[in-house]
Structure 1
Amino acid sequence: MAEQTPRTEHPAGPGRLLAGVAWAALLLGLWGWGADGFAGTSAPMTGDVAAVGRPMERRPPAAREGGEPAEPRRVDVPSVGVAAPVVPRGLDVTGAVDPPAYDRPGVVGWYSGGVRPGARGTALFVGHVDTRTGRAVFYDLSATRPGEKIRVTRSDGSVAEFTVDDVRVHSRERFDARKVYGPHLPDRAELRLITCGGTFDRESRTYTANVVVSAYLTAVEEARRDG
């Protein structure tokens, strides 16, 4: 693993950007997730920072203010068959996001030291593409396209709906970590879904890139209140 940049204390409270975290260290940590994988062929093999998704054919929906954010409990991406529970994750000893365990391939991790989905800034979700034995929760993530929906069910019973506006592959050799983790537009509530991509390097036992799906908040369904 490449040498990591120095880190400062990162904000522990919700609704904050990953300002205190070493951006490069976070991204570098994700490439190691494929080390125990079976190197399936679904991972995109496009070049550095290459767009995977098509431009939106229609005018994209307007961004919405998030209101009161809450912790995520479930994430659904109907277009690629993702329907997964979400668990909070922190940073490991190297400063990288600690992903869900390999024995939980159907679980998505949310970086709980950063932004809650629906708050201004970028909420970060991570998941494996595969394991030693087969596919994992984000195996088909690269097939996501702009305009498709991501629904996040939150702890207060509300559902935050995000619209995908960008799908890219970022290689390890050249990347801009602030573009990966920072908001695309100021004052928006945004979301990132991240997994391994590129090709599987059997010598280093890591993938060569990451798939990054970017989305922004466009609707909120309030919790149902019986009676």
Structure 2
Amino acid sequence: MHWQLSGEPEVPGEAPGASPKLQAIEDYNREDCESTALLHDWLLKFRREQGLPEQPLQLPLNDADQEPREPQQSELLSQQLLEEIPDHLADERALGPRGMSWQAHRLLAQLLPFHHREAKVGWWAYFDRRSKAELSPADLIDDGEAIAGAQWVGMDERPSARTGADIHHFRFDPSQPLKLHAGDGDGRLTVELPATDLKLDVDALDAERGTLSLQPQQ
């Protein structure tokens, strides 16, 4: 966002005619990817050393719609690891009985049920956006999956073979870093207006110009 508003070139670098801000973004993303890859390799190595199961987790997307289930093996192991940690540790960097520091021991215990928790993230993000839309809309300006501050500018009726459809037109700040696309057919984007709970289909979306057209769902 800061680079987009800076007016600097699209070439990263410190040399004249290049963008230091874009270079900083590139360096940050590279380090993030490299550290994630190193963590992935370490977890795979540790899984083999500890004899943990290699099959991927198959967890339900929404526990509320599921019958009570037996805990996953990873969840049981996570609880076991947490129970092994002494109540009072003088030094978390000291080695524990599993050949790793207590700090790594705790981290592993917290990571094991990660996929189960992440399955609910979509709904957490949805309700977080609804709350921000109602209480602090300005907080959505940097959210790439929400259109903040859209203002209604007019309406027209588009005739069709079956029925007419009212098309409502909006404008918004085009500096928002949107990741949304209108789509078409079954993949058409739907947006929700939090103040009314209305769900409308996106007829057209131009992020660069800051224009949005919505129509009632068919």
Q: Which has the higher strand share?
A: 1
Q: Which has the higher helix share?
A: 2
Q: TM-score, normalised by structure 2?
A: 0.25
Return the structure number with greater relative CO, CA threshold 8 A, min gap 6.
Answer: 1
Q: Give 1 or 2 for the bigger CA radius of gyration.
A: 2
Q: TM-score, normalised by structure 1?
A: 0.24
